[in-house]
Chain A
Amino acid sequence: MTAIHQFVPALLPRDATGDHTLALQSALRHAGFESDIYVEAAHDDLWHLATYFEAYAERAKPDDLLVYQLSTASPLADFLLDRPERLVLDYHNITPSSFYESWEDHTAEKVELARSQMVALAPAAVLGIADSAFNASELRHFGCPATAVIPILVAIGGEARVPDPAESARLGRDHGSATVLLFVGRLSPNKAQHHLVEALWLYRRWYDPGARLHLVGPAVTPAYAEAVFALAASLGLGDAVRHGEDLTDGQLAAWYADADVFVCLSEHEGFCIPLLEAMHAGLPIVAHGAGAVPETLTDAGILLESNRPGVVAAAVHRVVTDRPLSDRMVAAGHRRLDAFAPSTTRARFVEVLGQLAGQKGRVA
């Protein structure tokens, strides 16, 4: 049987692309395919599951199907471009460099390099798999001959996501009965957390003077993160904006359970897994309709055309005070989650890749 191997720049624990890669390997092996993971780097705990990518050259077979998990710049791109085996791009989106310019020039250069690698890889691939139609349209734009939209393989919920009681108690003591707005995602310019701070300021003036904003995620762009917290301090919100990072699954679940509403004002999202986590946690959602957010969310939340603080504050107030609306959104969220059920997604991946593995040429 044809082997389906994956290439991923870095195999990391508690990382969406890493989890997806491991889940896909498990699905492929379960379906009877030989499937290894080749990496440029891996976390110490995961090296035993991976092989340094250059070793593949020694093991390659002409019928192999190679799946590249593309989300960042990597020497893997040039390596794969030179390989004669058939290539599938599994694209998780690359944030446009314009978001990082002046904030972090080296990151801007890195994502620009990643984009140029995608431009070179897209026409060379036999198929592009994207986790959203938004991402698929980018692949097609850059010349990918065929695309399929299949959601990312992530386990939403599960036993590990039971709220940590100690963390829940700590959060409860911290803010009492005040309204809590939550956003989960890297502190990065494209996630636009500064608009959340602005919206909180207006929300407190208009509706709830004690309201809090909880931001969960690593500060991957330090200059931006500092600016967000400096803005909060200058608006007198130093104590009202809480930042959580390096949380365990149980702690993260506690932050979700503690919130009243999930608010996403990102200006660019390729999929947005935290929307699914919020749906699973039974949170109503208010989101700015940028990038892939509208197709991930559909009718499971309030989709705003703008992320201006006035309209965000009014939308949040409506959601937290209108119980029937909130209940309806939560129910819609649970329905929406069915579309991302891991069993369905796994089967779809195996079907698409398996069909391709059985062919020798390009897919039509």
Chain B
Amino acid sequence: MAPVEPDSPSSGEELDAAGRARYLDEVMADIDAEVKRRRASGDLPAGLEQELDELFLEFSPVGLQGKARLRETLALVDSSAYVDIAVPVESQKVVGTYVKRLIRKTMGWYLGFIVHQIVKFAWSVSRMFHVVVAHVEDLEAEVGTLRIPELPYSAVPVAVPGSTWWAPDAVAALTGVRGRVLHADCGDGSLVDTLIAAGVDAYGVDPSEAGIESAIERGTDVRAEPMLGHLEVVGDEALAGMVLSGSVQWLHPNERDRLVRMATTRLAVEGVLVIHSSTPESWTAATSPLVSDLAPGRPLHAETWTHLLHLHGLRTTALHTGGDDRRIDPIPFSNPDAPAINAAIVAVNERLLGPGEYLLVAVRER
């Protein structure tokens, strides 16, 4: 980083409040540029900051490491349920050792009586936890048998979002935001590249390692991680923008609910959320049988997204439509049955065959 910009005001020059704010904005822009340069040069590899956080969590109590590990916690309870009445008697003075030993001996019957009851209570509590943990594990096993087969990532074609109809609208919505922008389910990372070229500090995640191979070869900051897993470890209000595409369309309703909650909290106030989705109608018709049959959920209408996002403090600011347009042309009016047939065609076009995709832009307001 250049230590001082040549045209920076010198320290002796008095600035008014607006001038000071402008000056600090320029300094922040320099700092952001330095971080971007470090990322581009490989000094700040993709995922390094997250690895540091994960390393820290290794030193935290068990409950903080992802989901609480019940058996480990239980072992801690068991190990602390024993109370030792053999008080250490070592002392720097000989007489001290003697006095301590005497106290221990004379108090032994008393402490033993009290400790016996404490230990009895502790073991009762521990036994109760063992029963609870056994029940929880039974429940987990039962829930496991109810799971539907997972959609293999390999069945999902690698997305090339950078060359889609909606890419320019997504870039326009995110250009100028200050801070990191995440593209979740980034496919080949092409939209991340386009965003970076537009001056956006973007990175991507995608569950498919094969899908992001080309992006990694290009040196783009993308990571092989599922969208929800990644958002779990992102700090609150850490992102200035987010693009959700790909599997966001077919998430299980529970997972979609988690996604909306996490996306809202991870996004800074005034952060921009961009969602690309197929319409429910076009998705069934255009998606591969494997994906449409095994996907845990179905795409939502844009109106439903708007409603869900509004509940979480986001306001929709733009809605673009595009993609495959399979609308049928009306028949010529020379045909005597044209009015009736064309009315039916209009209804079918509106309900089933209109623009097959949409891009929704929303801003976090609170």
Indicate, yes or no, whether A interacts with B.
Answer: yes
Within A287-341, which residues are at the interface with B (CB < 8 Å)?
299, 302-303, 305-311, 314-315, 317-318, 321-325, 327-328, 331-332
- Min CB distance B24 to A, Å, is 6
In the complex where A302-B24, A318-B31, A323-B11 touch, is A227 in contact with B180 (Cβ < 8 A)?
A: no
Indicate which residue in B4, B52, B56, B238 contacts A325 across the interface (CB closer than 8 Å).
Answer: B4
- Min CB distance B156 to A, Å, is 31
Do A103 and B52 have beta carbons less than 8 Å apart? no
- Min CB distance A310 to B, Å, is 5
Do A314 and B34 have beta carbons less than 8 Å apart? yes
Q: Flag B7-21 by CB within 8 Å of A: 1 or 0 each.
A: 011110001010011
CA distance A311 to B32 in the complex (A): 7
Do B24 and A299 have beta carbons less than 8 Å apart? yes
- Check B132 for interface membership: any CB of A closer than 8 A: no
Q: Flag A213-224 by CB within 8 Å of B: 1 or 0 each.
A: 000000000011
Do B43 and A227 have beta carbons less than 8 Å apart? no
Do B56 and A231 have beta carbons less than 8 Å apart? yes
- Check B304 for interface membership: any CB of A closer than 8 A: no
Do B52 and A198 have beta carbons less than 8 Å apart? yes
In the complex where A198-B52, A299-B21, A314-B35 touch, is A227 in contact with B4 (Cβ < 8 A)?
A: no
Indicate which residue in A205, A299, A309 contacts B20 across the interface (CB closer than 8 Å).
Answer: A299
- Min CB distance A263 to B, Å, is 13
In the complex where A194-B56, A322-B4 touch, is A315 in contact with B31 (Cβ < 8 A)?
A: yes
- Check B38 for interface membership: any CB of A closer than 8 A: yes
Number of A residues with CB within 8 Å of any CB on chain B: 41
Indicate which residue in A102, A235, A314 contacts B1 across the interface (CB closer than 8 Å).
Answer: A314
- Check B61 for interface membership: any CB of A closer than 8 A: yes
Within A180-232, which residues are at the interface with B (CB < 8 Å)?
194, 197-198, 201-202, 205-206, 223-224, 226-227, 230-231
List the B side residues contacting A332 at CB < 8 Å: 20
In the complex where A231-B55, A325-B8 touch, is A311 in contact with B23 (Cβ < 8 A)?
A: no
List the A side residues contacting B56 at CB < 8 Å: 194, 197-198, 227, 231
Query: Taking beta carbons and an 8 Å cutoff, which residues of B are in contact with A?
Result: 1, 3-4, 8-11, 15, 17, 20-21, 23-24, 27-28, 30-32, 34-35, 38-39, 43-44, 49, 52-53, 55-56, 59-61, 63-64, 68, 178-180, 235, 238, 240, 268
Q: Show 25 residue pairs from A and B whose CB-CB distance is below 8 angstroms, ordered by the A residue.
A: A102-B60, A198-B49, A198-B52, A205-B43, A226-B59, A231-B56, A231-B59, A234-B55, A235-B55, A299-B17, A306-B235, A306-B238, A308-B49, A310-B35, A311-B31, A318-B30, A318-B34, A321-B1, A322-B3, A322-B8, A322-B27, A323-B4, A325-B8, A328-B9, A328-B20
| A-B pairs, 8 with minimum CB distance | A327-B11, A102-B63, A227-B59, A324-B11, A230-B59, A314-B34, A321-B3, A198-B52
